[in-house]
Chains A and B, each alone.
Chain A
């Protein structure tokens, strides 16, 4: 289990497989500096919760069919407000979670068209 600490003091305990979807966290784990939990100064608790929700679903391909995962992603991305969306983009970039970054950025790009 890995402990993540948000910028506003919330802690989240999650399975390693879930956390490793973030390349940033994966590197920290490799470098073995996760003893006392990982502080994420750039991510608030609210956003981190959303990110963990996404990562939990996407562990090992989501446990359902590709179609089902796409539908889940669509629901996920359509039910967040613009402010959360923007913060998710910044956090996904900082945490280096490519699939989440693709999903969120594409959403904004679609809104611009």
Chain B
């Protein structure tokens, strides 16, 4: 039988082993507060800082200064930099990190609105010096990219799929062009190669929805679904439209006294119309 001290030690050992598997910086910083032992381990283990992931919980607080501090903890060995919706990070801040961490192989910066195409191209150039190769670049959500920028980037990252966006063959804009799960769309020459504005797709499985397929509307305005995905999603009890999984938080759950019955919900539109006749023309004037 383990005594208390032994047990505490083995829990610590387990937590130390788990540290590299944590999802993002937020979890790593939370572990800082568990014990002095963990705090010191986190501070001293440079391997823990070679993959930096900043997600929306912390994104709004990340400034260039703080980013530079975090990046310096890997002693120049930073490999993966993931900044999601970090609205305060600028070209200058990113470049500073890139210049002092020439071993970066993955740069994922979706939705970092302060960044510019020129800034990112500068970073990519800096990383492709001295035989080093940047392998992955995600820039969807950074505005201003044109096909000329993409052409320039393709020189540095020629591998297919290295960059998450491409030039849409239908509208020439730089957007994500998703792969299609439809069996007849497996070749590169498929007709449904296009961005989300040019080609209608099921928001769950991304299968293309041509003119001959039945398109189902979702309760989240604008989203559409294929029949198969529509069938499995729970639906609003009034209008029978489902929310897609990423918008499922918008469901207005209904208090149910009967435990045996399926939990029901209303979509926002139907919820706010409660008390009005659903068959009246909707009066938008408030």
What would 20 more interface pairs be, CB under 8 Å, given A90-B14, A105-B20, A112-B22?
A86-B10, A87-B10, A89-B14, A89-B17, A89-B18, A90-B10, A101-B17, A102-B21, A105-B17, A105-B21, A106-B21, A108-B18, A109-B21, A109-B22, A109-B23, A110-B23, A112-B18, A112-B27, A112-B31, A113-B27
**Cβ–Cβ contact B11 & A86, under 8 A:** yes
Asked if B69 is at the interface of the complex by the 8 Å CB criterion, the answer is no
- Count B interface residues, CB 8 Å: 13
Asked if A93 is at the interface of the complex by the 8 Å CB criterion, the answer is yes
How many residue pairs, one in A and one in B, have C-beta atoms under 8 Å apart? 37
Q: How far is the CB of B162 from chain A (nearest CB, A)?
A: 24
Binding site for A on B (CB under 8 A): 10-11, 13-14, 17-18, 20-23, 27, 30-31
Q: Which residue of B lies closest to A112 (CB)?
A: B27
Q: Which residue of A lies closest to B24 (CB)?
A: A113
Closest 6 CB pairs of A and B: A109-B21, A105-B21, A108-B18, A105-B18, A86-B14, A113-B23
Cα–Cα, bound, A102→B20 (Å): 10
| Residues of A close to B31: CB separation below 8 A | 112
| Residues of B close to A113: CB separation below 8 A | 22-23, 27
| Residues of A close to B27: CB separation below 8 A | 109, 112-113
Q: How far is the CB of B38 from chain A (nearest CB, A)?
A: 12
Cα–Cα, bound, A105→B19 (Å): 8
**Cβ–Cβ contact A108 & B23, under 8 A:** no
User: B17's contact among A87, A93, A110, A112, by CB below 8 Å, is which?
Assistant: A93
| Residues of B close to A108: CB separation below 8 A | 14, 18, 21
User: Which residues A71-113 have CB closer than 8 A to chain B?
Assistant: 86-87, 89-90, 93, 101-102, 105-106, 108-110, 112-113
What are 11 A-B pairs at a CB distance below 8 A?
A: A86-B10, A86-B14, A90-B10, A90-B14, A90-B17, A105-B20, A105-B21, A108-B18, A109-B18, A109-B23, A109-B27
